[in-house]
């Protein structure tokens, strides 16, 4: 048992330049500090990140209502503390205190608990038998809500599939570099930039971006000696308007969207396909998963929002075979673990994920290992992304020691 002595919250910067919240927990022999990330293409069923009044309002609530209650509690009583956060909030979606306040507090408590026991977070949450390191899934070309003037498909990603985490981290970074080089050669004179997650942004059609990605995957795979495979996060809810998928160059009905996306999986041998349909079309997902689920991971992000009730419905309907896990979509570590356990019990893969606005917090690297996730989506380059990627390398070293 280790009692909480001090609990502090503060406003800090995130990678998009907005304010976010950081929470620090101190016990007599332990310490934990965690900052919350923020999304831009948020799902409509996520918990609310901040209450009216933003980060400042969350900090006031922390000081007035949460801090005094935490002090004196046993920091290892994670479930009790997470239940208390729900009770103090009193709404179904953390709209009064803010999901980002909840997630930063919950994870800072977990980090302090791990620290009291002299353990890394991944072992504290995952147990002594933890051994699998998720494969990094990195965004190389982007658009949607993460970049002005980019593709309408949000993320063109790669996943390096060596057994060694450090090879995979460098594999994705190499592919990122190759994309940049190829863009400069193919689009001389064009402005080429980077989006919120460090992915390249260029005047490309979805098809151009996909064929460039496939070409880079082939070249990187043969240079590296292990497969680097392509993946997409379509973030389809972002351009689903009045019953149709509105691309820059076409409009597709929900039925045609299923056919279009299934065709992309075939043509480009996609390994992972995230959010191919809008966030409430469980039936369309089931049809698509029937068609391509044996060839790739169909991952629900906005569809499930890390919520166990929505996942239960998806499992019952055969909507996907995988789920994206973003702790701040649901608000506490306990809620996140319950969703991960339900997924695993039903043979679903999990993919732990960053948000488009991040800090240098590396908690998701630990959680991905703790959960035995298949992949960790956390970009390929950029300070707030490499904070997680480099932590994977350190965790691998720790596991091998």
Q: Please list the active-site residues.
A: 197, 326
Give residue for tokens 């240098």: 360
Residue 323, strand partner residues: 300, 350
Residues 22-41 that bind ligand PGA (CB under 6 A): 39-41
Q: Nearest to Zn ion by Cβ — which residue?
A: 301
DSSP 206: H
Work out how close the CB of 301 gets to ligand PGA at its nearest, in angstroms, rounded to a whole number: 5
Binding partner of residue 42 among ligand PGA, Zn ion, none, CB cut-off 5 to 8 Å per kind: ligand PGA
Q: What is d(CA 16, CA 22) in angstroms, rounded to the nearest whole number?
A: 16
Provide the mask over 71-100, with x wherever binding to ligand PGA is found by CB under 6 A and - wherever it is not. ------------------------------
- Pick from 59, 137, 235, 319 the residue near ligand PGA by CB under 6 A: 235
Instruction: Determine if 45 is a binding residue for ligand PGA (CB under 6 A).
Output: no
Q: Nearest to ligand PGA by Cβ — which residue?
A: 39
DSSP 48: P
Q: Which among 95-103, 124-132, 340-348, 352-360 is the span making contact with ligand PGA, rule CB under 6 A?
A: 352-360
Question: Closest by alpha carbon to 285, among 294, 276, 295?
Answer: 276
Binding partner of residue 310 among Zn ion, ligand PGA, none, CB cut-off 5 to 8 Å per kind: none
Provide the mask over 291-320, with x wherever binding to ligand PGA is found by CB under 6 A and - wherever it is not. ----------x-------------------
Give residue for tokens 């980019």: 150
Q: What is d(CA 372, CA 352) in angstroms, rounded to the nearest whole number?
A: 10
Work out how close the CB of 39 gets to Zn ion at its nearest, in angstroms, rounded to a whole number: 9
Instruction: Determine if 352 is a binding residue for ligand PGA (CB under 6 A).
Output: no
Binding partner of residue 40 among Zn ion, ligand PGA, none, CB cut-off 5 to 8 Å per kind: ligand PGA
- Kindly tell me which of 145 and 366 has the beta carbon lying closer to ligand PGA: 145
Instruction: Measure CA 171 to chain center.
Output: 20
Work out how close the CB of 233 gets to Zn ion at its nearest, in angstroms, rounded to a whole number: 4
Binding partner of residue 39 among Zn ion, ligand PGA, none, CB cut-off 5 to 8 Å per kind: ligand PGA
Binding partner of residue 355 among ligand PGA, Zn ion, none, CB cut-off 5 to 8 Å per kind: ligand PGA
Q: What is d(CA 380, CA 138) in angstroms, rounded to the nearest whole number?
A: 5
Sheet of 240-241: strand order equals: 240-241, 244-246, 251-252
Provide the mask over 168-207, with x wherever binding to ligand PGA is found by CB under 6 A and - wherever it is not. ----------------------------------------
- Binding positions for Zn ion, rule: CB under 5 A: 233, 275, 301
Question: Closest by alpha carbon to 359, among 47, 58, 108?
Answer: 108
Q: Strands 244-246, 240-241: parallel, antiparallel or unpaired by DSSP?
A: antiparallel
For residue 251 the two structure tokens come to: 């409009």
- Kindly tell me which of 82 and 302 has the beta carbon lying closer to ligand PGA: 302
Instruction: Determine if 355 is a binding residue for ligand PGA (CB under 6 A).
Output: yes
Instruction: Determine if 151 is a binding residue for ligand PGA (CB under 6 A).
Output: no
Residue pair 209/152 in contact by the 8 Å Cβ criterion:
no
Residue pair 323/358 in contact by the 8 Å Cβ criterion:
no
Residue pair 156/141 in contact by the 8 Å Cβ criterion:
yes
For residue 198 the two structure tokens come to: 């460090």
Q: What is d(CA 174, CA 12) in angstroms, rounded to the nearest whole number?
A: 31
Q: What is d(CA 167, CA 211) in angstroms, rounded to the nearest whole number?
A: 24
Q: Strands 155-160, 135-142: parallel, antiparallel or unpaired by DSSP?
A: antiparallel
Work out how close the CB of 29 gets to ligand PGA at its nearest, in angstroms, rounded to a whole number: 35
Binding site for ligand PGA (CB under 6 A): 39-42, 145, 233, 235, 301, 353, 355-356
């Amino acid at each position: 048992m280790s009692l909480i002595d001090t609990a502090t919250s503060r406003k800090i910067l995130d990678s998009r330049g907005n304010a976010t919240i950081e929470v620090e927990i101190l016990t007599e022999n332990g310490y934990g500090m965690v900052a919350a990330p923020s999304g831009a293409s948020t799902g409509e069923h996520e918990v609310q990140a901040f209450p009216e009044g933003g980060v400042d309002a969350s900090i006031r609530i922390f000081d007035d209502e949460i801090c005094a209650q935490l002090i004196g509690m046993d920091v290892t009583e994670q479930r009790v503390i997470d239940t208390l956060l729900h009770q103090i909030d009193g709404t179904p979606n953390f709209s009064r205190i803010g999901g980002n306040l909840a997630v930063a507090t919950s994870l800072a408590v977990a980090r302090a608990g791990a620290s009291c026991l002299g353990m890394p977070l991944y072992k504290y949450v995952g147990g002594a038998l933890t051994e699998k390191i998720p494969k990094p899934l990195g965004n190389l070309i982007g658009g949607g809500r993460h970049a002005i003037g980019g593709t309408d498909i949000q993320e063109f990603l790669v996943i390096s599939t060596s057994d060694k985490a450090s090879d995979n981290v460098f594999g994705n970074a190499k592919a990122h570099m190759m994309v940049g080089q190829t863009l400069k050669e193919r689009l001389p004179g064009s402005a080429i930039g980077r989006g919120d997650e460090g992915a390249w942004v260029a005047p490309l059609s979805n098809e151009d971006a996909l064929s460039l990605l496939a070409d880079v995957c082939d070249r990187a795979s043969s240079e590296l000696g292990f497969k680097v495979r392509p993946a997409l996060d379509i973030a389809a809810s972002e351009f689903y308007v009045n019953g149709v998928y509105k691309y820059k160059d076409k409009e597709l009905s929900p039925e045609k969207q299923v056919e279009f996306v299934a065709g992309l999986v075939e043509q480009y041998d996609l390994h992972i396909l995230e959010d191919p349909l809008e966030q409430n079309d469980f039936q369309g997902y089931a049809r698509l998963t029937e068609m391509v689920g044996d060839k790739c991971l169909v991952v629900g992000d906005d569809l499930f929002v890390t919520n166990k009730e929505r996942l239960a419905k998806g499992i019952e309907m055969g909507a996907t075979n995988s789920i994206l896990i973003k702790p701040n979509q649901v608000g506490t570590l306990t809620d996140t673990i319950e969703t991960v356990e339900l997924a695993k019990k039903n043979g679903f893969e999990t993919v732990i994920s960053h948000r488009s606005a991040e800090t240098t917090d590396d908690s998701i690297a630990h959680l991905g290992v703790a959960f035995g996730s298949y992949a960790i989506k956390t970009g390929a380059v950029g300070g707030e992304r490499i904070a997680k990627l480099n932590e994977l390398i350190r965790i691998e070293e720790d596991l091998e020691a």
